[in-house]
Structure formats: structure tokens, C-alpha cells
Amino acid sequence: MAGKPVALILGDDAGIGQCVQTMGFRPIVADLPNHAMEMQRRLSPALVLVNLPNGDLTPRLLRRLSRSGTPLLLMQDEAGPIPGPEGPHPPLCVLKRPVSPGDLRAAVRIVLPLSSPDLPTHTDRTFGKRYLTEYAPLLDYSAKMQAIKEIVEQVADINTTILFRGESGVGKDLVARAVHAASSRADGPFIKVNCAALPGELLESELFGHEKGAFTGAYRRKLGKFEFANEGTIYLDEIGELPLALQAKLLHVVQDLQFSRIGGRELIRVDTRILASTNRNLEVALSHGEFREDLYYRLNVVEIHVPPLRERPEEIPVLASVFLDRFNREYHQNREFLPQTLTLLANCPWPGNVRELENFVRRFVVLGNAERSQQELEAALRTIKRTDSLASPSLAPPTADVTHGLREIARRAARDAERKALKEVLDRVHWNRVAASRILKVSYKTLLNKIVECGLSRKSPHESA
Ligand SMILES: Nc1ncnc2c1ncn2[C@@H]1O[C@H](COP(=O)(O)OP(=O)(O)O)[C@@H](O)[C@H]1O
Ligand SMILES: [Mg+2]
């Protein structure tokens, strides 16, 4: 810990220490003003945080604390007038209690600007090859994503939880994977769990595992995803859908990284980094009592909001060409967009965000029908313009039925395209599914799932696998 800038906390720690620790400071708590003065002289802290009852912070004390010029953060019950130190005073910020980790981080950034030599930096950090080649370039196509990339690199190695927010399809998973790949856990597992995919009891067993005989049907011990994520990262997708009973259990795990399997007594410790994402408004869920406030604050130490694609339209042509290259390679094609298609692409609002754009390009490559793709975009735009004639910018958010329409068109066409390609290849290799999975560059398991999803079956009874 030596070498880290010290953050001196005067008064009640109340989680402040942990929060500033995640920012790279060494927290030192002093209960009494005299003790704090002493520490300030001896340790030259980069920052002093005062969390005393309102009346205890007297003008005299404030004057003494300010004397060395150390930036100050004051926590008060009511933001409002504070006993201002006379004369020149150091950077100072007042926060109203209760203080959320997000507020605290923001306030630290205000009193200690990024350029400050006292703010821990991670510029000397070298990232893994995978992060640099696979993820970093994808987060470079717009200023908004570059800002996210900067945060990713700053927090990669601070073991804090991160909450990813944003609409569906904007790239939350991608950014979460980037955090893992940029961290020193990159060689460990990245385990994703979709909290909306399973009902409560199953989800509990999925996350924490169960012992043999824990419930009917538990024939053998099963390890949970948290155990698999040991020495790696666990990513809890759609955390807003987590049932309340499980939220309580998760809160404990987030706090101590300890839990027991269902039906077990043994306490299992894991070393994992917890990331979570949601496209739900969690603040509304909090106010309806559907999401625990304590868990919210635990998860939301760092929040990364990934903006919708319509707010970063400069990425559309770049992403389209990235996807075009990728799918051309994947499907052994050599397709090109018509020039007018490129223009249209950039003007579509893409309510399904990057995922929708990706599917559109995949469909274009598989079907290879430039005119049809062009018409599809034109039709989508016409509908949007009709329903949205009052909104001037062509990128204004579309109305709900259009959103649904375009997404549904995309989904259906992608499925049709996949089905067609799948059937062609399977027929060609006489339903040798190992061979088919190799040609289609998907895993054997994925291929089997796709066959079921697309409702394909072999007519001849003799199958070879
Ligand atoms: N910046 C990007 N560059 C390339 N592909 C991206 C980018 N952002 C998202 N994608 C792709 O778009 C799809 C949806 O992204 P995902 O991270 O799953 O979104 P979310 O989790 O927000 O719903 C994925 O296939 C992802 O690989
Ligand atoms: Mg996701």
C-alpha cells in the first residue's frame, strides 16, 4: 500500500474509506480533530474528507484543516452555508449526507482535477494483448466511447463493482468484457449470468450452486457461477430482474465474497470481481421497493452509462464496415454496400442499437441482396419520417411501434437468413453436423441449438453426426 496517496477521513468512515480506496487512495481514519491534525502533519494527505456531525465542524477547525492547502471534502446534513474559512482557502467541496459513492467520486474529481499529481493514475499500466487488439479498437469510434474507454482503463485494476447502464444492444456486455480483458484478471474466467433468464430458485442454484439432496432433483453437488468465476470476473446481466430474496443473498456476497451453496453449511470464499448491468431504471425500481437500496449502492460504486447509437451516429459507417468485413470473412463472401445504402445506414435511428445494425449487416451478407437491403432501409426511414414528421433531426428517437417494427423485421430476416444458410450447408454435408459446424464456424453445441431454433430436421432417418 505504500506509495499510494493518503486520503484522511475525519469522523465517521461510513464507507468513505472503501470508496476512496477503489479510487487508488490509502484511507486513514481519525476520529478526533486533534488526531486528524497530527496525521495531516505527519502524512501530508492528498485529500481530507470531513464527516463530522454538523455542529462539530467549527470555523476554527476548518481554518486549521485548510492551513496546509490540502483539498477538502465536507459532508454535511444539509448542503448549504458552511463555516467558510477566511482568506485564500484550498479547493473545497460540500456534500449533503447521505453521500452516494458516485457523488463522492465526482466530488474527489472536482477538488482533485485529473491533472493533479495526487490523483492516482494508471498511465504506467500495460494492458494485455487481448484487450489491446480485440477491445480497445472497438471503443475508439466516437468521443463518447473514447470517454468510456478511458474509464475502463482507469478502473480495470481497481477491484470495485461496476454498474453498466444503457438501452439494449448498445454494447454493455462488450464494455464489461473489455474491463475484464484490461484487468489483471484477464487470464481468469469471465462468467456471464443472465438474471432474467431463470426463475428465482433456479437462478439461486445457478449463482451459488447446491449440495446433493438440497432439494428434489438435486442428485449431485453442483457448483455455482460464483465459484466458476474465482480469480476472474462475474457479470450479472439484467440485474434489475433479480428477485428480492436473491438480492439479499447477493448483497452479502458483494460485501464479503462469501456464501454457501444451497443446502450446504460450508462457507465458500471466492476471489472474483463483480460487474452488473441493467437497462431498467433502477431508481424507479428502488422507489417501488423492487430493488434494495443497499445493494444498489454496493453495485453502483462506479457507473458506466453506454449511450444509444443514435447519440453517437458517427460510429454507424465505421461499425457497418467492421461488421461487413467480419461477416464477409465468416460467410466467405465479398459483398459491398451500394453507395446510397451507406448514406441511409447513417440516417437510420437504429432503435435496437449496435445489435440491430450488426444483424442488418449479417442479413445483407448472407442474403447478398443489395437492392432488397436498400429498400428495407428506405421503408424503415419512410415510416419513421411519417410518424415523426414534427421532429427535425432524422435521428430523433422513433415511436414505439416503429421501434418494434424495425426490430421485428430485423429479427425475422436474420432468422430466415440463418435458416437458409444452415439448411444449405447441412444438406451439402449430408447432415454431418460436425462438418457443418466447422464450415459455419460455430461450435457444435451452437449448431445443435440453431438447428432446433430454426425448426430444421433431416428428412432421411440415417443421421451421421
Ligand atoms: N463498439 C462496438 N464495436 C463492435 N461491435 C459492437 C460494439 N458495441 C456493441 N457491439 C456488438 O453489438 C452487439 C450488442 O452488444 P452487447 O454488448 O451485447 O449489448 P448490450 O449488452 O448493451 O445489450 C454485440 O454483438 C456486440 O458485439
Ligand atoms: Mg447485454
Look up the CATH number of the domain holding residue 29: 3.40.50.2300
172-189 b/e (C-beta count within 10 Å ≥ 16 → b): bbbbbbbbbbbbebbebe
The residue among 388 and 53 whose pLDDT is bigger is 53
Residue 36 has pLDDT above 80, yes or no: yes
Joined together, the cell numbers standing for residue 302 give 462506479
Same domain assignment for residues 331 and 386: yes
Q: In angstroms, rounded to a whole number, what is the distance separating the alpha carbons of residues 280 and 163?
A: 12
Same domain assignment for residues 169 and 95: no
Give the model's pLDDT for residue 308.
96
Classify the C-alpha dihedral 103-107-113-118 as positive or negative.
negative
Residue 167 lies in a domain: yes
- Expressed in angstroms and rounded, the spacing between residue 356 Cα and the centre of ligand 1 is 9
Number of structural domains in the chain: 3
Classify the C-alpha dihedral 78-81-82-83 as positive or negative.
negative
The amino acid present at 242, given as its one-letter code, is L
Give the model's pLDDT for residue 291.
95
Give the model's pLDDT for residue 183.
94
CATH code, domain with 205 = 3.40.50.300
As a whole number, mean pLDDT of residues 201-220 equals 91
Q: In angstroms, rounded to a whole number, what is the distance separating the alpha carbons of residues 132 and 138?
A: 10
Which atom of ligand 1 is nearest the CA belonging to 173? 17
Residue 305 has pLDDT above 90, yes or no: yes
Same domain assignment for residues 412 and 442: yes
Same domain assignment for residues 363 and 422: yes
Give the model's pLDDT for residue 242.
95
Residue 162 lies in a domain: yes
Which residue's alpha carbon is nearest to atom 3 within ligand 1? 138
Give the model's pLDDT for residue 405.
55
Which atom of ligand 1 is nearest the CA belonging to 176? 17
CATH code, domain with 374 = 1.10.8.60
Give the model's pLDDT for residue 125.
57
Same domain assignment for residues 328 and 445: yes
Residue 224 lies in a domain: yes
As a whole number, mean pLDDT of residues 224-253 equals 95
- Expressed in angstroms and rounded, the spacing between residue 109 Cα and the centre of ligand 1 is 29
- Expressed in angstroms and rounded, the spacing between residue 436 Cα and the centre of ligand 2 is 28
Residue 14 lies in a domain: yes
Same domain assignment for residues 157 and 278: yes
- Expressed in angstroms and rounded, the spacing between residue 357 Cα and the centre of ligand 1 is 10
As a whole number, mean pLDDT of residues 417-437 equals 82
As a whole number, mean pLDDT of residues 383-408 equals 46
Percent of the chain with pLDDT over 70: 86
Same domain assignment for residues 319 and 368: yes
Task: Report CA Rg, the chain.
Answer: 27
Range of lowest pLDDT (140-144, 311-315, 341-345, 378-382): 378-382
Give the model's pLDDT for residue 396.
36
Residue 435 has pLDDT above 90, yes or no: no
Q: Which of 290, 307, 324 is the last residue of a domain?
A: 307
Q: Which of 47, 76, 111 is the last residue of a domain?
A: 111
Helix or strand (DSSP H, E) at 373: helix 370-387
Residue 250 lies in a domain: yes
Range of lowest pLDDT (203-207, 298-302, 319-323): 298-302
Residue 102: other Cβ atoms inside 10 A: 15
Same domain assignment for residues 210 and 288: yes
Q: Which of 20-34, 81-95, 368-382 has the highest mean pLDDT?
A: 20-34
pLDDT band at 208 (very low <50, low <70, confident <90, very high): very high
Residue 461 has pLDDT above 80, yes or no: no
Query: Which ligand sits nearest to residue 136's alpha carbon?
Result: 1
Residue 52 lies in a domain: yes
Indicate the pairing of strand 6-11 with strand 26-30.
parallel
pLDDT band at 227 (very low <50, low <70, confident <90, very high): very high
Query: Which ligand sits nearest to residue 166's alpha carbon?
Result: 1
Same domain assignment for residues 93 and 201: no
Residue 394 has pLDDT above 70, yes or no: no
Mean confidence (pLDDT) of the chain: 83
- Expressed in angstroms and rounded, the spacing between residue 304 Cα and the centre of ligand 1 is 15
Q: Which residues line ligand 1 (CB under 6 A)?
A: 138, 166, 168-174, 319, 322, 354-355, 358
Same domain assignment for residues 391 and 290: no
Which atom of ligand 1 is nearest the CA belonging to 170? 22
Supply the range of the domain harboring residue 39: 6-111
pTM of the model: 0.62
Same domain assignment for residues 323 and 438: yes
Same domain assignment for residues 350 and 434: yes
Residue 183 lies in a domain: yes
Which atom of ligand 1 is nearest the CA belonging to 168? 23
Q: Which of 111, 140, 175 is the last residue of a domain?
A: 111
- Expressed in angstroms and rounded, the spacing between residue 138 Cα and the centre of ligand 1 is 9
Residue 346 lies in a domain: yes
Which residue's alpha carbon is nearest to atom 25 within ligand 1? 355
C-alpha 54, offset from chain centre: 37
